[in-house]
């Protein structure tokens, strides 16, 4: 084992997205899984879409940790995740069909994770309609209403599936209750019997996977296992630290790994943040560096379409105000910069180093969205490298201008560069 590899052997690593999601977390998790025993999802639900390319095969994971593609590694869906049981069964079946083993020996599902149910999805869609122009642009997977029920203490949890009769009664009651709300919103009520049947069948399938994952993880740590915490979404979609209300409904930032898994802060060793060499966002809300030229460039290459909804992602220049903020709230030790190759053809590349609004300069993100909406980026410019990076084999072989760019964005973010990614595949990963 060389020194570079040694660096990634550690007890616990939290991996987060430093921007607005889709930073390439799935790819980097896949690379880091080699050096870990267990991969834990700790927040979000099947609003996530984590892409992993292995050889000529492409997988998009929504609920199951990306580590599942490595035989012999254990994957845990932690208590902080909201799980649609039917969607989870479908995802498991999809993987099994493609030859991936998904037995209860390698996938554990927290008994205290909350469920996403059909009325959450329907309410999500209806609330978006009601919001009209102010819509969030959610993935319509029911995430907001499911976390809402969790906070209101009226949710159903995985542990409820252990008693089928009571589960079925509770579920029928909840569907009827929510049908009243849906009717009041002018939407169609949901079929109680069909939902009960579908979710009871999923519950039966999932029961062997349900476990006390907090105890499991603590025993694993005692046994010296290395654990990787797979963040979903990104820092600016965090319910507390994001561009509220244009956010998701969970703590996507590093602290969420503790509350969403039951592993306390003093057991966490390293935070790795993933960020693109530019910025993307899918859904509504502020994106100060949004730019039509770079957006057209990447969409023209068939890139930057959502892995979950297929929506075109909005694209902008790299925003160091945002990533500096991300370094603050996540405590980033190391950076993985992905999609460097997306900028291959550019003559000059802009980096946002501050915002200007109303005669003021902002070096961190203002919380007032009205101010943020007025913010104009202050850019510096760097030379492009104007050559394809896909085939580069080591960090040292990168063109000097590409190295200068990636090192500049790491410096502006205020964290150590560890990985530069130059393509979607495992081997297109350069460690510094
Ligand atoms: P995640 O949600 O953070 O896991 O990211 P997504 O999977 O939603 O989106 C990232 C996209 O970028 C996927 O299509 C990846 O295959 C792709 N990707 C990741 N790293 C690179 C890279 O360095 N270069 C290129 N060309 N694609 C990458
Ligand atoms: P990964 O893990 C990018 C966005 C939605 C919307 C907002 C709220 O693949 O990076 P929600 O359905 O969560 O209520 O939607 O959050 N969003 C994501 N954007 N990547 C994701 O996940 C996202 N998950 C949610 O587009 O703007
Ligand atoms: Mg994604």
Question: Based on the domain organization, do 80 and 121 belong to the same domain?
Answer: no
Phi/psi for 337 (5° steps) reads -100, 120
Question: Based on the domain organization, do 416 and 315 belong to the same domain?
Answer: yes
CATH code of the domain containing 34? 3.40.440.10
| 342 CA: nearest ligand 1 atom | 26
Peptide bond into 50 cis (omega under 30): no
Domain-ending residue, one of 171, 190, 208: 208
Q: Is 4 inside any structural domain? A: no
CA–CA distance, 267 with 13 (Å, rounded to integer): 10
| 215 CA → ligand 1 middle, Å | 33
Q: Which residues line ligand 1 (CB under 6 A)?
A: 17, 21-27, 49-51, 53, 307, 338-339, 341, 421-424
Pairing of strands 12-17, 270-276: parallel
**409: helix, coil or strand?**
helix
What token pair was written down for 57?
A: 């095969």
| 28 CA → ligand 1 middle, Å | 9
Q: Which ligand is nearest to the CA of 419?
A: 1
Question: Based on the domain organization, do 187 and 291 belong to the same domain?
Answer: no
Question: Based on the domain organization, do 276 and 361 belong to the same domain?
Answer: yes
CATH code of the domain containing 187? 1.10.300.10
Residue nearest to atom 10 of ligand 1 (CA): 24
CA–CA distance, 365 with 286 (Å, rounded to integer): 11
| 50 CA → ligand 3 middle, Å | 5
Q: Is 3 inside any structural domain? A: no
Q: Which residues surround ligand 3, an ion (CB under 5 A)?
A: 22, 49, 307
| 93 CA → ligand 1 middle, Å | 24
Domain-ending residue, one of 148, 174, 208: 208
Question: Based on the domain organization, do 203 and 218 belong to the same domain?
Answer: no
Domain that holds residue 40: 10-110+212-431
Q: How many structural domains is the chain composed of?
A: 2
CA torsion sign, 248 to 44 to 98 to 93?
negative
Residue nearest to atom 11 of ligand 1 (CA): 24
Question: Based on the domain organization, do 162 and 187 belong to the same domain?
Answer: yes
| 308 CA: nearest ligand 1 atom | 8
Percentages of the chain per state (helix, strand, coil), in multiples of 5: 40, 20, 40
DSSP H or E segment with residue 316: strand 314-316
Question: Based on the domain organization, do 275 and 363 belong to the same domain?
Answer: yes
Active site residues: 22, 50
CA–CA distance, 352 with 33 (Å, rounded to integer): 33
Question: Based on the domain organization, do 372 and 395 belong to the same domain?
Answer: yes
pLDDT of residue 309: 85
Residue in 51, 273, 427 to alter for ligand 1 test, most ligand atoms within 8 A of Cβ? 51
Question: Based on the domain organization, do 54 and 129 belong to the same domain?
Answer: no
Q: Which ligand is nearest to the CA of 21?
A: 2
Q: Is 2 inside any structural domain? A: no
Question: Based on the domain organization, do 84 and 130 belong to the same domain?
Answer: no
The torsion defined by the Cα of 245, 246, 250 and 254, in degrees rounded to 10, comes to -110
Question: Based on the domain organization, do 87 and 155 belong to the same domain?
Answer: no
CA–CA distance, 124 with 142 (Å, rounded to integer): 5
Residue in 128, 131, 237, 274 to alter for ligand 2 test, most ligand atoms within 8 A of Cβ? 237
- pLDDT tens series, the chain, 432 aa: 455 555 544 589 999 999 999 999 999 999 999 999 999 999 999 999 999 999 999 999 999 999 999 999 999 999 999 999 999 999 999 999 999 999 999 999 999 999 999 999 999 999 999 999 999 999 999 999 999 999 999 999 999 999 999 999 999 999 999 999 999 999 999 999 999 999 999 999 999 999 999 999 999 999 999 999 999 999 999 999 999 999 999 999 999 999 999 999 999 999 999 999 999 999 999 999 999 999 999 999 999 998 888 889 999 999 999 999 999 999 999 999 999 999 999 999 999 999 999 999 999 999 999 999 999 999 999 999 999 999 999 999 999 999 999 999 999 999 999 999 999 999 999 999
Q: Between the CA of residue 208 and those of 82, 96, 184, 223, 284, what are the distances in Å?
A: 18, 16, 39, 23, 39
| 235 CA → ligand 1 middle, Å | 17
Domain-ending residue, one of 208, 223, 257: 208
Within 8 A by CB and 6+ apart from 10, the residues are: 226, 269, 270
Question: Based on the domain organization, do 21 and 58 belong to the same domain?
Answer: yes
Q: Is 61 inside any structural domain? A: yes
Q: What is the DSSP letter of 386?
A: -
Residue in 424, 425, 429, 431 to alter for ligand 1 test, most ligand atoms within 8 A of Cβ? 424
Q: Is 191 inside any structural domain? A: yes
pTM to 2 decimal places: 0.96
CA–CA distance, 47 with 250 (Å, rounded to integer): 11
pLDDT of residue 5: 54
């Amino acid at each position: 084992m060389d020194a570079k590899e040694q660096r990634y052997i550690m007890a616990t690593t939290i991996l987060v997205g430093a921007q607005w999601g889709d930073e390439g977390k799935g790819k980097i998790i896949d690379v880091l899984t080699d050096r870990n025993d267990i991969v834990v999802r700790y927040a979000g639900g099947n609003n996530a879409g984590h892409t992993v390319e292995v050889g000529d095969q492409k997988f998009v994971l929504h609920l199951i940790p990306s580590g599942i593609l490595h035989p012999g590694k254990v994957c845990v869906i932690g208590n902080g995740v909201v799980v649609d049981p039917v969607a989870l069964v479908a995802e498991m079946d999809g993987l099994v069909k493609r030859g991936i083993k998904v037995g209860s020996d390698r996938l554990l599902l927290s008994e205290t994770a909350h469920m996403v149910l059909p009325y959450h999805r329907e309410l999500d869609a209806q609330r978006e309609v009601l919001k009209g122009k102010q819509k969030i642009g959610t993935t319509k997977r029911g995430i907001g209403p499911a976390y809402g029920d969790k906070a209101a203490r009226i949710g159903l949890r995985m542990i409820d599936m252990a008693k089928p009769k009571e589960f079925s009664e509770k579920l029928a009651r909840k569907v009827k209750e929510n049908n009243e709300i849906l009717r009041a919103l002018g939407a169609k009520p949901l079929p109680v019997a069909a939902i009960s049947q579908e979710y009871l069948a999923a519950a039966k399938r999932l029961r062997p996977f349900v476990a006390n994952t907090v105890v499991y993880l603590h025993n694993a740590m005692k046994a010296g296992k290395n654990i990787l915490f797979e963040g979903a979404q990104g820092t600016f979609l965090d319910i507390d630290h994001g561009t509220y209300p244009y956010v998701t409904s969970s703590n996507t930032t590093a602290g969420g790994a503790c509350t969403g898994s039951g592993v306390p802060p003093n057991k966490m060793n390293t935070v790795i943040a993933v960020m693109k060499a530019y910025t993307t966002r899918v859904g509504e809300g502020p994106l100060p560096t949004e730019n039509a030229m770079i957006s057209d460039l990447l969409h023209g290459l068939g890139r930057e379409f959502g892995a979950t909804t297929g929506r075109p992602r909005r694209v902008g220049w790299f925003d160091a105000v945002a990533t500096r903020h991300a370094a603050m709230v996540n405590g980033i030790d190391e950076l993985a910069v992905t999609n460097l190759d997306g900028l291959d053809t550019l003559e000059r590349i802009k980096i946002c180093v501050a915002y200007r609004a109303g005669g003021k300069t902002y070096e961190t993100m203002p919380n007032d969205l009205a101010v943020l909406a007025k913010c104009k980026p202050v850019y510096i410019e760097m030379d492009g490298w104007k050559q394809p990076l896909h085939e580069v084999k080591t960090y040292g072989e990168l063109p000097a201008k590409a190295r200068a760019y990636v090192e500049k964005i790491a410096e502006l973010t205020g964290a150590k560069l560890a990985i530069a990614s130059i393509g979607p595949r495992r081997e297109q990963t350069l460690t510094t």
